[in-house]
Amino acid sequence: MTKKQLQYGVISVGVLILLMLVFSNFGSNGALSSNESVQLSSKQIQRSINRAFPLTHSNTRVNMKLKNPKVILKEGWEHVAIDLDLNMSVKKRRGNRSIYRPTYNGKVTLSGSLAYSPTTGNILLNKIKLRILNSKKINTKDIAQIEKTLVTVLQRKLNRNPIYRLKGKQFKYELNKMELSNIEINKNNINIELALK
């Protein structure tokens, strides 16, 4: 073997070792692969949702308090559901003063789809809907308005309390280039897949 052949051999081995090092780090602590998965357990989601409650909202007519959230996951669903207790009082005039008189203590159900915010790395509950259950005690005209008000208040609160926040160097440099590509929900967890845009 000539000196030149030996040099080429050493260079080739060096290049191969370098390539192996690059590919062994790819997707772990270096660059991100084209897909990244996040698995959230129902307990993790429940803990995150608990931070947003109890939630109180008052306006000129009513005082509402939402508490005791219970997260519900079902296989095949594309959304997360939450059962909540609603305590509602309506403002009434009594002589020269106003008082809140309890009018409803019951259940509401909230549901929303999952969304990923690439600028913050947050996985959020988005496009929420709310339905008052056993609403016979509430004036029919008021139900739609109450639900609409609560949806606005809840969406604002849940935007400030994400279900999960991606952290670290990977998020800073790579995950902000990704978008939500697939969600699988079963009774015990949610599998979220992010893919490069």
Tell me the pairing of strands 35-41 and 164-165: unpaired
Q: What is the pTM of this model?
A: 0.74
Domain count, the chain: 1
pLDDT > 50? residue 122? yes
**Greater model confidence, 71 or 59:** 71
Could you tell me the CATH number of the domain that includes residue 83? 3.15.10.40
Q: What percent of the chain has pLDDT over 90?
A: 30
Positive or negative, the Cα torsion across 45, 51, 56, 59? negative
Residue position matching structure tokens 């309390």:
161
Question: Looking at per-residue confidence, does 8 or 159 come out higher?
Answer: 159
Q: Is residue 47 part of a domain?
A: yes
**159 in a structural domain:** yes
C-beta atoms surrounding 138 within 10 Å: 18
The dihedrals phi and psi of 150, each to the nearest 5 degrees, come to -65, -40
Whether 15 is covered by a domain: the verdict is no
- Does 188 fall in a domain? no
Residue at 127 is within a domain: yes
How far apart, in whole angstroms, are the C-alpha atoms of residue 61 and residue 9?
83
Percent of the chain's residues with pLDDT above 70? 78
Cβ distance 180 to 116 under 8 Å? yes
What confidence score (pLDDT) does residue 104 get? 83
Asked if residue 75 is part of any domain, the answer here is yes
Contact indicator for 116, 178 with CB cutoff of 8 Å: yes
Length of the chain: 197
Q: Note every long-range contact of 178-182, with CB atoms under 8 Å and residues 24 or more positions apart, other chains counting.
A: 178/32, 178/36, 178/116, 178/118, 179/116, 179/118, 180/114, 180/115, 180/116, 181/35
Residue 16 lies in a domain: no
Assess if residue 189 is contained within a domain.
no
Per-residue pLDDT of 29-49, as tens digits, reads 444 456 778 888 999 999 999
Burial of 194: CB neighbours in 10 Å, binned 0-12, 13-18, 19+: buried
Which residues have a Cβ under 8 Å from the Cβ of 80 and sit 6 or more positions away? Answer: 45, 71, 72, 73, 111, 112, 113, 114, 125, 163, 185, 190
Residue 27 structure tokens: 């997707």
Q: Quick count: other Cβ atoms within 10 Å of Cβ 116? A: 22
Domain enclosing residue 103, as ranges: 41-165
d(CA 75, CA 125): 17
Find the Cα–Cα–Cα–Cα dihedral 17, 23, 26, 27, rounded to 10°.
Answer: -140
